[in-house]
Amino acid sequence: MNYRQFREWLIGSPLPTHRLAGQRLDTARALAALSPDALSSIAYANQEIFLGLVVAGAAGLAYSFPIALAIVGLLVVLTLSYSQTIRAYPAGGGSYTVARENIGVNVGLVAAAALMTDYVLVAAVSLTAGVAAITSAFPALEAHRVELSLLLLVIITLANLRGVHESSTLMSIPVYLFVFSYLGMLAYGVITAINEGPGSYTPNHFSGIGTSPITAFLILHTFASGCTALTGIEAISNGTQMFRPPESKHAVQAMRIMALLMGILFLGTVGLTQFFAATPTADETILSALARHIFGSGVLYLVIQVSTLLILLVAANTSFAGFPRVASILARDGYLPRQLSYLGDRLVFSNGMLLLATLTGVLILLFGGDTHALIPLFAVGVFVAFTLSQAGMVVHWFRAREPGWWLKALTNGLGTVTTTIALSVIAISKFIDGAWFVMLLIPLFVMGFRAVHKHYEEIADELSLRGLHHPSLPLPPPRIVIPIPGVHRGVISALKYALSISDHVTAVYVEIDPDRTEKVMNLWKHWGLGVPLEVIPSPYRSFVSPFLEFLDKTDQEHSDGQLATVVLPEFIPAKWWENLLHNQTAWILKLALLYRRRRYGKVRAIIDIPTHLRH
Amino acid sequence: MNYRQFREWLIGSPLPTHRLAGQRLDTARALAALSPDALSSIAYANQEIFLGLVVAGAAGLAYSFPIALAIVGLLVVLTLSYSQTIRAYPAGGGSYTVARENIGVNVGLVAAAALMTDYVLVAAVSLTAGVAAITSAFPALEAHRVELSLLLLVIITLANLRGVHESSTLMSIPVYLFVFSYLGMLAYGVITAINEGPGSYTPNHFSGIGTSPITAFLILHTFASGCTALTGIEAISNGTQMFRPPESKHAVQAMRIMALLMGILFLGTVGLTQFFAATPTADETILSALARHIFGSGVLYLVIQVSTLLILLVAANTSFAGFPRVASILARDGYLPRQLSYLGDRLVFSNGMLLLATLTGVLILLFGGDTHALIPLFAVGVFVAFTLSQAGMVVHWFRAREPGWWLKALTNGLGTVTTTIALSVIAISKFIDGAWFVMLLIPLFVMGFRAVHKHYEEIADELSLRGLHHPSLPLPPPRIVIPIPGVHRGVISALKYALSISDHVTAVYVEIDPDRTEKVMNLWKHWGLGVPLEVIPSPYRSFVSPFLEFLDKTDQEHSDGQLATVVLPEFIPAKWWENLLHNQTAWILKLALLYRRRRYGKVRAIIDIPTHLRH
């Protein structure tokens, strides 16, 4: 199996461009495609609220539900705000697009940088949280959480390189499995709660219910952690174009259904964990403890854990749709390397996917596969993107001034203000936990984007045909120099080729071992086709420098304004390792000519004459 | 500081070839240059004898001196035998030369393989043993023995890349310091012994004096370990040409002095350690224990340890003279990559040195810097080289039949027989300890040498001018194909160049994004200088395959027997990292043309037209 066959086995055979056709989905499937990131967030947000409050003991944990309510309030504001984005941008209004169009390029780039770090974090956090759902059920796997996370990452990456579409029916199964199994658990949980009455917190080895005082900082810090529940709610406004027409109407419907589901699941799980006083351990997540409390450790419990894993995998998968899309838009606008905008064999942005997979893998390794350690980095990017996108919408309405514009501006303004406040809370309270890293990363990304853009602009300018005179006089035939290592068939091939394109040919022999010179000169007399041979000494036994000096000299001696063309006899061994047995002078010389000797505005052509060897 | 300046700072500026002049040394300095490997061997051989016998307790250790005597007997035989090699090969008779000339190429290659493994082991063992001498004095350093060994390796490698000559006066200081400090210690030790009387072995945590029975295997195994004392005695016969004329006479003198010193130092140290019942610990070598017993832990003790380290460093240094020399001879004969025969900037075989340093570093890392673990691999190679070299001398005398030849043949024959026996003992008794590895390695090396040689012979045959008809008819001007990514200055340069060498030029545009085609065609109409433009579709968005298919098609359509020349417009960014921002199509295409599409006997010329960018 050669490389090509292996590749086709792994990711499938290439697809032709015409297969790239827009697909429209009904609301149920579009919702399944766009909501997993948002819905799955409750799997870790709940746990983060617990961990934030537990240091203040049972008294602290009493704040769980109120904090969850505050977050749901934020959810309502964001839903109203994003519904307006959906109506204004039926073709899809990502934060980058909205911020760039309405506020300016640099703000757009900040939003893009925030979005991209966020996509990487969604992938990393979803994978590690998914693995945590499984290791809660099978604690023996806990020691291998990094390997498991990376294995899932590889599987998701391969599936996406093949081209798993977020819109496929297959993808909606985990979403609805998750929604219905969790709704079932909540319903059964409420009945249990009525029968059992409230639980009380008992210390366990993991949490060691603490006795820190309940400070404002503690509450805000916990609120900031819980805000990770809101990640992903912008997805529908990014993907409005996937809905059947009228797109906006269907998308707004879907947005509302999603927000409703999120609210129920989030408040329900937080409420019940607080009511039952469910506590996580080092081996078990809080949702697993809740499910075990309600269902015992049987099949129903396992269904909950598996559906948690699956929705988190689908959520990680949404990064593989989102990140490459943003990267390709930036690449097309010249802010990222062009390669990120190329559609691969399978009609997906393969380079972007590989970049995302690499970054995600690095994060998982760096943080030892620990969701809780990754969370502080998470919310900053999301809320930067939220804020900029909504601020952009405010500007949009001010500019458009359509009927009722002030109400719309007010709604988005409210969104902007609340997310700005939330962002400040997150940035300050989580700063030393790791938010500083993202706050450093985003400006660095923006600087990188701008540097790349500057480079492309300068190149385009330099290569532009503007001001170039239409070539009238043809060039004279080139002067040719052939460096020869001796006299063999490859050299004769090169010589014959050189004579077929010019009459002005010189051969050059760099004399490293003076004992061989006479033999070479005699052979040349017989085989050299009358071409003059220059022998140049090399007291330091180097080949490249004396040859380059000769080239400079001969260019100076001829006033034709051209640089001499170098014809390189090269031989290509039959097997790659045999290259180690030859000393690669041709390659070194080529690199020296191309990179070390810069000749702005003048052309030094290099002609390779390869001789392929059978051995 | 650029790369060139850094390099000059590190290893010095280049030296011209004429500086390579043979230097002749007086006997004292030649002895200092050629003996360190042999003399320093006692630093580890002594310890190996102790470790071999200690498992049989005090009764076993009573065999130390008798085993040392047997080894000195071997030393006498080898000295006589090698004195004859010196007389027969005044220009230097290394094992490879002697075995190859007298017995045959394959035997010579076996000797060379044995020698080369041996040189690597000398370097590794000397460095780790030198570090052990220092960690004996400063046990806190023990934990860093691997790092220390590697640090010394780097220093020695750099010194040798600069060109530290084994013949320099600086090098003879450690040798004479070692000889005189050890002779002094032995003399003082004898006086102490007379005053104190014999010591007795007391168990210590390291040796835990054992009670294994004294078997023949135990004795032979210990003898085999002790034979490492003889490594390096062939050095003088390799380097005879360094002595002043009459070379042979002076070299034989030096050989005798060296053997005498080795005998005294070896028997003296083994005898005294046995007499005082000095025992090594995990932190301390046996020679350190002996020196501490004789001198206490004061300045004199430190002088002994430092002189041990220094002579071992000089011994490791001899590998840096020997290994690259053997490698360069093999490379010149076509058994190793040619690069190993090139003299570097500083007139040393730099590539061979770097290869030796790499292999030595790998060994030190693999064996955790532990001398005792390396020893079993050591003696096999040395004794293979001894045996083959002396067997070669026997054949030499049989062929030469000069007066008294039978006595000379008898002497070398005795040498051959005794080293063969010693080799068998070593190979069998040390087999499972690690000798198997070297016994596997040597044939693998020989197979490698022969594979390399076969390759070079086949290449020479294929490139040979034999049977080539003297070219009579000139080639017609080439057909030229220019792949264009669009229309810019670089493309126009390439086009103008192509037209200067041929009238038959075609431009090819691979249509990856059909939306751009019309724009490119319009630009071409204006700028294309009348050259036809072929647009070829690429449904799978790949550039290389459709282009290669086009080349095949056009070659088939033309019956001129030539392959079309490809002119590649290429642009070279100002900074290396900017290459990441471009998609390297030119390089990928070049590699595909050179390596993936083999055309035996036909030439596909590739012309690079670089455009250097200022940005």
Judgement on whether residues B452 and B487 belong to the same structural domain of the protein: no
- Average pLDDT (B269-280) is 87
Q: Is pLDDT of A205 > 70?
A: no
Q: Verify whether the Cβ–Cβ distance B581 to A452 is below 8 Å.
A: yes
Judgement on whether residues A571 and A452 belong to the same structural domain of the protein: no
Residues B420/B81, Cβ–Cβ less than 8 Å: no
Q: Verify whether the Cβ–Cβ distance B471 to A455 is below 8 Å.
A: no
**One-character DSSP codes across A54-123:** GGGHHHHHTTHHHHHHHHHHHHHHHHHHHHHHHHH-TT---HHHHHHHHT-HHHHHHHHHHHHHHHHHHH
Judgement on whether residues A448 and A529 belong to the same structural domain of the protein: no
B-proximal residues of A, 81-110, CB under 8 Å:
none
% of chain B exceeding 70 in pLDDT: 94
Q: Verify whether the Cβ–Cβ distance B605 to A338 is below 8 Å.
A: no
Judgement on whether residues B432 and B547 belong to the same structural domain of the protein: no
Residues A502/A478, Cβ–Cβ less than 8 Å: yes
Q: Verify whether the Cβ–Cβ distance B615 to A462 is below 8 Å.
A: yes
Residues B290/B279, Cβ–Cβ less than 8 Å: no
Label each residue of B4-29 as H, E or C: HHHHHHHHCCCCCHHHCCCCCECHHH
Q: Verify whether the Cβ–Cβ distance B606 to A607 is below 8 Å.
A: yes
Which of chain A's residues have a Cβ under 8 Å away from the Cβ of B515?
none
pLDDT at B203: 58
pLDDT at B536: 93
Judgement on whether residues B445 and B508 belong to the same structural domain of the protein: no
Work out how many domains chain A is built from and give that number: 2
Banded pLDDT at B583 (limits 50, 70, 90): low
Inside any domain, residue B386: yes
Flag whether residue B346 sits within 8 Å of chain A, measured between CB atoms. Answer: no
Judgement on whether residues A508 and A448 belong to the same structural domain of the protein: no
B-proximal residues of A, 9-28, CB under 8 Å:
14-18
Continuous H helices in B367-502: 371-400, 405-429, 436-463, 489-501
Q: What's the complex ipTM?
A: 0.76
Q: Verify whether the Cβ–Cβ distance A614 to B600 is below 8 Å.
A: yes
Inside any domain, residue A470: no
Which of chain A's residues have a Cβ under 8 Å away from the Cβ of B475?
496-497, 499-500
CA distances, A610 to each of B231, B457, B602 (Å): 48, 20, 9
Which of B440, B456, B472 corresponds to the end of one domain? B456
Q: Verify whether the Cβ–Cβ distance B489 to A465 is below 8 Å.
A: yes
Closest partner CB to A455 (pick from B456, B464, B615): B615
Judgement on whether residues A376 and A485 belong to the same structural domain of the protein: no
Judgement on whether residues A407 and A531 belong to the same structural domain of the protein: no
Inside any domain, residue A471: no
Nearest one of B355, B261, B303 to B42, comparing CA atoms: B261
Q: Is pLDDT of A355 > 90?
A: yes
- Average pLDDT (A173-197) is 89
**Closest residue in A to B523 (Cα–Cα):** A465
Average pLDDT, chain B: 85
Which of chain A's residues have a Cβ under 8 Å away from the Cβ of B498?
none
Inside any domain, residue B474: no
Q: Verify whether the Cβ–Cβ distance A455 to B580 is below 8 Å.
A: no
Nearest-CA distance from A155 to chain B in Å? Answer: 24
Nearest-CA distance from A586 to chain B in Å? Answer: 13
Which of chain A's residues have a Cβ under 8 Å away from the Cβ of B539?
16-18
Inside any domain, residue A276: yes
Burial B214-238 (b: 16+ CB within 10 A, else e): eeeebbbbbbbbbbbbbbbbbbbbb
Q: Verify whether the Cβ–Cβ distance B540 to A345 is below 8 Å.
A: yes
Banded pLDDT at A17 (limits 50, 70, 90): low
Task: Find which of A469-478, B220-229, B501-510 is predicted with most confidence, using mean pLDDT.
Answer: B501-510
Q: What is the pLDDT of residues B473-509, one digit of tens each?
A: 778 889 999 999 889 888 998 999 999 999 999 999 9
A-proximal residues of B, 539-568, CB under 8 Å:
539-542
Inside any domain, residue A20: no
Q: What is the pLDDT of residues A58-108, one digit of tens each?
A: 788 888 899 999 999 999 998 988 888 888 888 776 888 888 888 989 999
Which of chain B's residues have a Cβ under 8 Å away from the Cβ of A580?
337
Q: Is pLDDT of A209 > 80?
A: no
Which of chain B's residues have a Cβ under 8 Å away from the Cβ of A570?
594
Q: What is the pLDDT of residues B91-136, one digit of tens each?
A: 776 888 888 888 989 999 999 999 899 889 989 999 998 898 888 8
Closest partner CB to A607 (pick from B15, B17, B605): B605
Judgement on whether residues A403 and A525 belong to the same structural domain of the protein: no
**Closest residue in B to A597 (Cα–Cα):** B612
Average pLDDT, chain A: 85
Q: How far apart are CA B303 and CA B297, in angstroms?
A: 10
Q: How far apart are CA B8 and CA A606, in angstroms?
A: 30
Q: What is the extent of the structural domain holding A583? A: 480-612
Flag whether residue B451 sits within 8 Å of chain A, measured between CB atoms. Answer: no
Lookup result for tokens 């002049």: B21
When mean pLDDT is compared across A57-71, A157-171, A367-381, B50-64, the lowest value belongs to A157-171
- Average pLDDT (A366-391) is 87
Which of A414, A440, A456 corresponds to the end of one domain? A456
Nearest-CA distance from A359 to chain B in Å? Answer: 17
Inside any domain, residue A175: yes
Q: Verify whether the Cβ–Cβ distance B492 to A471 is below 8 Å.
A: yes
- Average pLDDT (B572-587) is 76
Closest partner CB to A471 (pick from B496, B541, B609): B496
Q: What is the pLDDT of residues B188-205, one digit of tens each?
A: 999 888 888 777 776 554
Peptide bond into A246 cis (omega under 30): yes
Q: What six digits make up the tokens of B462?
A: 């294929």
Q: What is the pLDDT of residues B597-612, one digit of tens each?
A: 777 778 899 999 988 8
Q: Verify whether the Cβ–Cβ distance A613 to B343 is below 8 Å.
A: no
Q: Residue A510 is part of a domain; what is its CATH number?
A: 3.40.50.620
Residues A606/A590, Cβ–Cβ less than 8 Å: yes
Task: Name B409's Cβ contacts closer than 8 Å, sequence gap at least 6.
Answer: B394, B397, B398
Judgement on whether residues B406 and B296 belong to the same structural domain of the protein: yes
pLDDT at A18: 64
- Average pLDDT (B53-69) is 86
Q: How many CB atoms lie within 10 A of CB B177?
A: 16
- Average pLDDT (A333-348) is 81
Judgement on whether residues B307 and B404 belong to the same structural domain of the protein: yes
pLDDT at B577: 74
Which of B456, B491, B508 corresponds to the end of one domain? B456
pLDDT at B292: 87
Q: Count of CB contacts below 8 A, A vs B?
A: 209
Q: Verify whether the Cβ–Cβ distance B501 to A497 is below 8 Å.
A: no
At residue A327, φ and ψ (nearest 5 deg) are -60, -40
What is the longest distance spanned by two Cα atoms in chain B?
108
Q: Is pLDDT of B18 > 80?
A: no
- Average pLDDT (B460-475) is 76
Judgement on whether residues B448 and B488 belong to the same structural domain of the protein: no
Task: Find which of A4-18, B324-338, B456-470 is predicted with most confidence, using mean pLDDT.
Answer: B324-338
Q: Residue B319 is part of a domain; what is its CATH number?
A: 1.20.1740.10
**Closest residue in B to A464 (Cα–Cα):** B488
- Average pLDDT (A478-499) is 92
- Average pLDDT (B31-58) is 85
- Average pLDDT (B531-556) is 89
Which of chain B's residues have a Cβ under 8 Å away from the Cβ of A462?
489, 613-615
Inside any domain, residue A235: yes
